Chains A and B, each alone.
Chain A
Amino acid sequence: MAEKKKTTTKKTETKKQDTKKVAPVKQEVKKQAKAAAGSTTEQKARVGVFICHCGTNIAGSMDLTAVEAYAKTVPNVAYVDNYKYMCSMPGQAVINKAIHDNKLTGVVVAACSPRLHEPTFRTATKEGGLNPFRFEMANIREQNSWVHMHDQEGSTDKAKDAIRIAVAKAALLQDLFPKAVPVEKAAIVVGAGVAGMQAALDLSAAGIKTYLVESDASIGGRMSQLDKTFPTLDCSQCILTPKMVDVGREPLIELFTWSEIHDVEGYIGNFDVTIKKKARGVITMAEAEAKGIVGGGCNGCGDCEAPCPVIKPNEFEMGMKPRKAIFINHPQVVPLLYTIDWDSCVKCGLCVTACGEKKAIDLEAKDEFVKVKVGTAILATGYELFPIEKKTEWGYKKFENVINGLEFERLICASGPTGGHLVRPSDGQTPKKVGFVLCAGSRDNTGIGKPYCSRFCCMYSLKHAHQIIEKIPGCTPYLFYMDIRSFGKAYEEFYYRIQDEGAKFIRGRVANILEDPKTKSLHVMTDDTLLNRPIDLEMDMVVLASAVQPSADTNRTRKLFGVSCSMDGWLLEAHPKLNPCGTTTAGVFLAGVCQGPKDIPDTVASAEGAASAASIPIHKGEVELEPYFATCIDEKCAGCGMCVNLCPYSALALVEKDGRTVMEVTEAKCKGCGTCGGFCPGGAIWMNHFATPQIVAQIDAFLLGGEQ
């Protein structure tokens, strides 16, 4: 989002932003800026301090009576009160009444983190008749009582400091007015697995134009590779294909497959997203029509495939089936459109000849860039398997008959490379004993695997056990596990059912696997922890339930949208409990596994949540931006322009005003980071709500200590 633009384009953009609604606000702000920066006589500050007990969360760790007594002695304090739960209705009423009774000009609540309750107390301040930005919070819980639980004296002193500092700022706070900007009635969804598809279907059903961008040649994601789905065992294709068709058919969804996000600019309500349509080498029927090729374009007939001389492993089939350089993933793909893999295409042109009059193939195709404007965005970039060969003790990629879970899905699937016959890769024989290694690479603190639980491998291994019992008479599955995590609705019942069907459960994490070089059978070594006996069981085949990790391009994509990630790369939600679909970037939401491992039910629920959250600003039609933007005090600005390049959000530009060159801020783009304000050598930049005099007053209050 931080892509720099040439300063020359700024002027026009700035004008566009200055809607009528905004202009008066801006003038108001300017006036205040001058007032505070200079001489004018401001009304004397009268600050109210409200101390919250937070039950015993705060009151249990410090002497609140002493804190309250102290607060009364702080300069500019006109009123002090306390309450058990300041955020509750009665607590807020205390604030409301005090503002009226004491003609307060500012409010300080000493309680929890502003992340939690700043909005609550701003509303309370507003209801008391003050501008909501005249509220300041002193955090005496997260940053005090919780961390200094066993230091009553120290935490009491620290609370006094926090209140003194907050009062110093509150005394200088000014009225600010959030700016409303219109929201583009369109959304973008990145990734078209079941999460992205569901989100796009919901958004379009709510009447919102939706761009769905998928990096692969077709939509469906991992779910389209699965055979059956736990716990109901319905066939994955049967429940997914109709959704894929709906996505392809929905007029409000514009599908970009074989595409990726190239660039993102703007902010909530007005994101400018550049989509890179990777050269596909094949055009659709609609594109052909636009080019004047009558009846042309790819109809999915596949005539091109046969003559292509290049043979490559099909990634969709986990490399277990061949494909050509011109390919589709599988026969049911949406869109039904061939794609050329340029890394292997030799440009012999045989496919072009085979395609004939349809003229669908262009061996000289180039990447194209499409710019779209959207109000909100959803990331649904899913996952991939952790490369389990890194855990060398299990022999993946070394022993032929050790496979991973997705390879099992393709081998057991009727439309897979073996027509649904599970066979040993080494000799094509049907296995009679199949071992399943659970937590392969998950719950691993060695630094090689992943420390988290991958959440769906227990359940799909149970499903796999069922599938082989059902398909291969006399075949026994052995599940090597630490815990069976069957936490979902009807999951424990599923576990019961599979054990009843004859699956053997051995509680022990597999230590290592050895191959019999003659038979290619595998010795699974572990400890039967319940028998307290080391064991060596000979299996015909072993399936590793590998850990999952964010898909490869997730990191690049999330950075474009300004979204953070956790230590292990999963995209970071705004709040793990109360805002799991939101991010800290307004207008950007998360759906599905990209936020953390989820099975399909949880993925779909999260996608519907994200779609609902992403449609709210669009249906409201406008969003309020925090009025923390920088403003330029024109008289002080020397027009040096050094701030312009410093701004990470490209919000500043130099303009001509009254014959002088001065800096101008595009308020909607400014995030109030303060980079320019801290830098300006002439002190010409006024950071609303974090203005120099306000911050200096806080520092003074801290340094001067209690007795002034």
Chain B
Amino acid sequence: MARTKGYPAALDKKLQDTKLYLDDSNPEFTKNVKAISRTNAHMCYQCGTCTGSCPSAPRSSYRIRLFMRRAVLGLENEALTDPDLWLCTTCYSCADRCPRDIIPTDVIMSMRNLAFKRDIIPVNFLKTVQAIYSSGHGVPNNDVNRAAREKIGLSRDPPTTHMFPEYIKGIQKILDHYKLKANADRIVKEREG
């Protein structure tokens, strides 16, 4: 709602009330994150070891510690609608070093799960789903790779669905079971028309 009539939207945004109120937090969110991630997500003491270990952090606005804070406080909307949620590379460096023995990577994964339930997901992730569905690979082989493989004495295609395409059916069955493909197609269509 515009309170600063006639001013640009950016200023309007700057002047927003950013205080944290009790009803911003949803205790169920903390519980759900914990249950899905199977790690003590509520025990973070904000030391910063995770962000300090994160290869994504120095190159992006992604801050794993911030997501941990949101997990502790149950800030569901803030966590699930932040596009940074999708910048974790799942390298597990933070999980190696967290002194509270939390696995922050899995906390991110659980939040992605919860976000997907609300159709919040970047299109490129959905395209990965489609790629796996059609080829069995998130990143299918290509000619550059094939040449490189040949050069070091490997077969042009790896011994996966690339070499044995008859197994793609099995993968499709799994994805269909979870309606992953159908949902991906639906959302991509909604977004890209």
Contact = CB atoms under 8 A, between A and B. Distances in A.
Interface of A: 393, 439, 443-447, 449, 482, 507-512, 525-529, 532, 534-536
A258 B99 CA distance: 39
A510 B63 contact: no
Given A445-B99, A446-B98, A508-B52, 5 more contacts: A509-B48, A511-B48, A525-B52, A527-B51, A527-B63
B81 to A, nearest CB: 18
B101 A445 contact: yes
B101 A527 contact: no
Contacts of B46: 529
B54 A534 contact: yes
Contacts of B100: 445
Nearest to A446: B101
A509 B44 CA distance: 13
A444 B113 CA distance: 29
B53 A512 contact: yes
Contacts of A509: 47-49, 52, 99
Nearest to A528: B48
Given A482-B45, A527-B57, A529-B65, A534 B97 contact: no
A535 B57 CA distance: 10
Nearest to A482: B47
A443 B63 CA distance: 23
A284 B97 CA distance: 52
A526 B49 CA distance: 6
Given A482-B45, A482-B47, A532-B66, A526 B101 contact: no
B87 to A, nearest CB: 13
Contact of B51 (A443, A482, A534): A534
B122 interface: no
A444 B49 CA distance: 12
Given A532-B63, A534-B57, A526 B48 contact: yes
A546 to B, nearest CB: 14
A369 B48 CA distance: 54
A446 B97 CA distance: 8
* Residue with the highest number of chain A CB atoms closer than 10 Å, among B54, B58, B99: B99
23 contacts: A439-B99, A443-B45, A445-B101, A446-B99, A447-B101, A449-B99, A482-B45, A509-B48, A509-B49, A509-B52, A511-B48, A512-B52, A512-B97, A525-B53, A526-B48, A526-B49, A527-B48, A527-B52, A529-B47, A529-B51, A529-B65, A532-B66, A534-B54
Contact of A511 (B45, B52, B63): B52
Contact of B52 (A444, A446, A447, A510): A510
Interface string B81-115: 00000000000000001111100000000000000
B58 A534 contact: yes
A173 B77 CA distance: 67
A626 to B, nearest CB: 44
A444 B101 CA distance: 8
Nearest to B51: A527
A479 to B, nearest CB: 14
Contacts of B49: 508-511, 526-527
A444 B66 contact: no
Interface string B54-68: 100110000101100
Contact of A443 (B65, B97, B99): B99
- Interchain residue pairs A-B with the least CB separation, the first 6: A511-B52, A527-B48, A527-B51, A509-B47, A508-B48, A526-B52
Nearest to A534: B57
Contacts of B97: 393, 511-512
Contacts of A439: 47, 99
B192 to A, nearest CB: 34
Contacts of A525: 52-53
A484 to B, nearest CB: 14
Contacts of A535: 52
A525 B53 CA distance: 7
Interface in B65-80: 65-66
A571 B52 CA distance: 36
Contacts of A528: 48
A447 B53 CA distance: 19
Contacts of A449: 99
Contacts of A526: 48-49, 52
A666 B41 CA distance: 57
Nearest to B65: A527
Nearest to A447: B101
Interface string B181-192: 000000000000
Contacts of B99: 439, 443-446, 449, 509
A512 B101 CA distance: 16
A528 B63 CA distance: 11
Nearest to B102: A445
Given A444-B99, A512-B97, A534-B58, A529 B53 contact: no
Contacts of B51: 511, 527, 529, 534
Contacts of A527: 48-52, 57, 63, 65
A81 to B, nearest CB: 46
Contacts of B58: 534, 536
Interface string B134-154: 000000000000000000000
* Residue with the highest number of chain B CB atoms closer than 10 Å, among A443, A445, A534, A536: A534
A209 B26 CA distance: 66
Contacts of B50: 511, 527
A533 to B, nearest CB: 8
A508 B45 CA distance: 11
A648 B52 CA distance: 54
A525 B65 CA distance: 15
Contacts of A529: 46-48, 51, 65
Nearest to B54: A534
Contacts of B52: 508-512, 525-527, 534-535
A640 B134 CA distance: 84
A513 to B, nearest CB: 11
A511 B53 contact: yes
Contacts of B54: 534
A447 B66 CA distance: 25
Contacts of A511: 48-53, 97
